[in-house]
Structure 1
Amino acid sequence: MSTLEIVTKEIVDLHEFFTEWFNGTADRDQLGSQFLSRLDENVVFIPPEGHILTGEMLKGGFDRDFGTNKGFRIRIRDVTIRREVGDLVMATYTEWQVGATQSERENARVTSVLMKMTSPVTWLHIQETWLPDSARDVGSFDF
């Protein structure tokens, strides 16, 4: 598999787990194996609102939010490799959400991610930014 294929699969698989988690259809004991184990111990996540979250903060939020968003769906689009340096890859993708309860019900964001191409892939840094209305207006929430 190419780097783009590996990165795309990693991103899509993780977001499929998020959908199952928030819908309450995942096994509750899979949080560690399906999500937390993918994160570097010093991971930084910056959501569109701009605050910084650590891995421990993410774990706490996910623990609280299991099954709290029954109609939630995600579609990943536009995965692009931006840089490869040794075993590090920087990629971007857009994430389209339907049925969100903690933000606009239909929302979209562009995400930059720094990953270490280990087996399994390790997420080092994630930063999300809201897509502007002009980009959202030409996209589709039909999924």
Structure 2
Amino acid sequence: MSGEPSLFSRASAEVVDLHRFFVDWFVAARANTVDFNRFERVMGEGFAMVAPDGQTLDRDAVVDHVRTSRATCDDGFTISIEDIQPGWQNADTIVILYIEAQLRGGKHSRRQSSAVFTTSSSAPNGVLWRHLHETWLQVPEG
């Protein structure tokens, strides 16, 4: 073993770190403290997302949405990542399962997510996002 963190460890760290980025990017009081390039660098070529409502978005649509959503939340916005588990994997690809819980505008929501990552030595945690699928577990209240 080389002592390098496992693919699961790297992908798990990426899930947590990217959601930390989202909070900082979306909260108006912190939006000036983050580098948007960090987000763009980890969205791999060909990335696609199935949103909780079933809409399929390509990489450009996701990047544009995140870019234009800068500073749109108040200080109460939070995201927590729960129950991270490994799914299928091989030497350079892994599926990660996790629950994303949000508090936005006083409303709670939860989504079950599955994400596909591939290794990349140039990415902050050594992995790129390739696919993301989210399903509502708890739709934001009223």
Q: Into which bin does the TM-score normalised by the smaller protein fall?
A: 0.7 to 0.9
- Please name the residue that 2:136 is paired with: 130
Alignment partner for residue 54 of structure 1, among 55, 58, 64? 58
Listed as ranges, the gaps of 5+ residues in structure 2 are none
Between Structure 1 and Structure 2, the one with more helix by share is 1
Deviations 1:33-82 (Å, cap 9, x if unpaired)?
x2111011210011100111111111221222110111210000111111
Normalising by structure 1, we get a TM-score of 0.82
Change (3 A) 1:130 1:89: same
Residue 97 (structure 2) pairs with residue 81 (structure 1): no
Between Structure 1 and Structure 2, the one with more strand by share is 2
Change (3 A) 1:5 1:100: farther
C-alpha displacement of 1:27? 3.2
Contact 1:115–1:125 under 8 Å retained in 2 = yes
- Please name the residue that 2:68 is paired with: 64
Instruction: Name which of structure 1's ranges 108-117 and 60-69 shifts more when overlaid on structure 2.
Output: 60-69
Structure number with greater CO (CA < 8 Å, separation at least 6) is 2
Task: Count matched residues.
Answer: 129
Listed as ranges, the gaps of 5+ residues in structure 1 are 134-143
Normalising by structure 2, we get a TM-score of 0.83
Letter of the 2:25 counterpart: W
